[in-house]
A and B are shown apart, each in its own frame.
Chain A
Amino acid sequence: MSQPEVLTQAFELGFTYTRSTGPVVGRFLTELRDRRIFGIKGSDGRVIVPPMEYDPVTAEELSEFVEVGQQGEIVSFAWVKEPRAAHPFDRPFAWAMIKLDGADVAMIHCVAAQSEGELATGARVQAVWADETRGFITDIRCFELAQEN
């Protein structure tokens, strides 16, 4: 029997999906475009950012939007020393759970910092907006340590 060679070839599985957002996600992204951050009130009154369409406990549709602050505190974070090609930075950065002022539930986004040592749970961060906003989650380009007032 013939011996096979090992045949390896790279390929890309790619498509640009066209997602419709529905009213809740759409409202959040619309506000992002206008550089505002909105959450939604859950059935227990907690403010969830980004807004969920359906309450995790009661399964009811949610609709009460609340604007939250653009600063908040780090609840937890992961320091990425070696960013992957798909990641938003090509230098070390953090993914973090960030509880924005006025929100009760953290959102996950990236944080720019020089080193892991700059960051800590409880550290205050603020949103940095993209130069052009278009109604996409990356309109918040990243968070960075908040300036002391």
Chain B
Amino acid sequence: MANLAAVVGIGQTKYTTKRGDVSIAGLVREAAANALEDAGLGWDDIEAVIIGKAPDMFEGVIMPEIYLTDALGCNGKPMLRVHTAGSVGGSTALVAASHVQSGTFKRVLTVAFEKQSESNAMWALSTPQPFSVHLNAGAGGYFAPIIREYMRRSEAPYDVGIKVAVKDRLHGARNPLAHLQKPDITLQEVEESFMLWDPLRFLEACPSSDGACAMVIASEDLAEQSPKPPAWIRGVAMRSEPTMYAGREEVSPQAGRDCAADVYQQAGITDPRRDLDCAEVYVPFSWYEPMWLENLGFAAEGEGWKLTMEGATSLDEGGDIPWNPSGGVLCSNPIGASGMIRFAEAARQVRGDAGAHQVEGAKLALGHAYGGGAQFFSMWVVGSEKS
């Protein structure tokens, strides 16, 4: 059996288009130092550092843990670098947790970051390769056809994505760290925004952000001594499947369903909508909320959009299962950190430390991340209680 572990410190940067005031190390450091401060700890209290980010091409620094050693107080310590595409922030948190859950370490620091302003994410994701057609149209170009297929199957009204875009931006307006601050956003504004990758409009897509997120994860005994309430890690799961294979279910990938089933089983969840108080789910394009509502078992197949339209996932509408109270990826997207932000925001909720976007009385929350061609999944469930 895995040892109990808990999140005892969380640190983030303010997410923004360009953090022009810091170096790459400065950005990562800021989140890490905030997490240490939140945990009431110093650099010497940390035994190992686990760092994650998406492709090195975003910053053009190869294996950046090598350069970041000193900024993260890691000289003489173990340092591990995770890269699992867009899910990396989540899987990095899971690898960090395994350092403690395996009984190998008592207290580790984990950090994920992206400083996307150093390059152009669209470039880094579609670098030219000989002998291939240069049709790569960025992540939106990849996911738009899958969304179209979901719309066809579910017969969802055209404006479900628009509703999600507004809902998450209103959530983000409660979160001072969120990149996009749009407290006055309207359905009409989203609908009239530029069509990027039909059926995806500009305001239905995530921004490109600079930012970093960090957590301190500690063993049961140390977590109990922590000055602030710990977020107990109640379940951890990862799943991968290939990008392309004959008959692949792209709208609701098997890897996502299996991953959810695994993490729910560990956390004793039988009905996620009922048992969980909120969820931070990787939704970089608005339509992925209804799609993941189904994939993660919050709604039956073809019914996810109904929860969205009823307001069930909205904090402002008093929904029973708020999704992305922090504003989610639609408000802030430093790619390599986005998954960890989901995991950290889930932990903030059950620590009762989420400020204006706190879900009242949240005791159990889901953190979710996915990456690649919606083929890599990582999830955890955190709770205010050990079991």
**A interface list, Cβ under 8 A from B:** 7, 9-11, 13, 15, 17-25, 52-59
Contacts and interface: CB of A to CB of B under 8 A. Distances in A.
Contact of B20 (A17, A20, A52): A20
B360 interface: no
A25 B23 CA distance: 8
Interface residues of B, number: 31
27 contacts: A9-B131, A11-B128, A11-B130, A15-B60, A15-B120, A17-B59, A18-B117, A18-B118, A19-B23, A19-B118, A20-B20, A20-B21, A20-B117, A21-B23, A22-B25, A52-B70, A53-B71, A54-B25, A54-B29, A54-B70, A54-B71, A55-B70, A56-B69, A56-B70, A59-B43, A59-B70, A59-B73
Nearest to B19: A20
B25 A53 contact: yes
Contact of A9 (B18, B23, B130): B130
Contacts of A53: 23, 25-26, 29, 70-71
Interface in B1-25: 18-25
A22 B26 contact: yes
A58 B128 CA distance: 43
A43 to B, nearest CB: 12
Contacts of A11: 128-130
A4 B283 CA distance: 42
Contacts of A20: 18-23, 117-118
B243 interface: no
Interface in B22-47: 22-26, 29, 43
Interface in B55-82: 57, 59-60, 69-73, 75
A36 B24 CA distance: 24
Contact of B119 (A7, A17, A21, A24): A17
B127 interface: yes
B352 to A, nearest CB: 30
A14 to B, nearest CB: 9
Interface string B93-122: 000000000000000000000000111100
Contacts of B124: 15
Contacts of A55: 70
Contacts of B19: 20
Chain B CB count within 10 A is highest, among A7, A11, A19, A57, for: A19
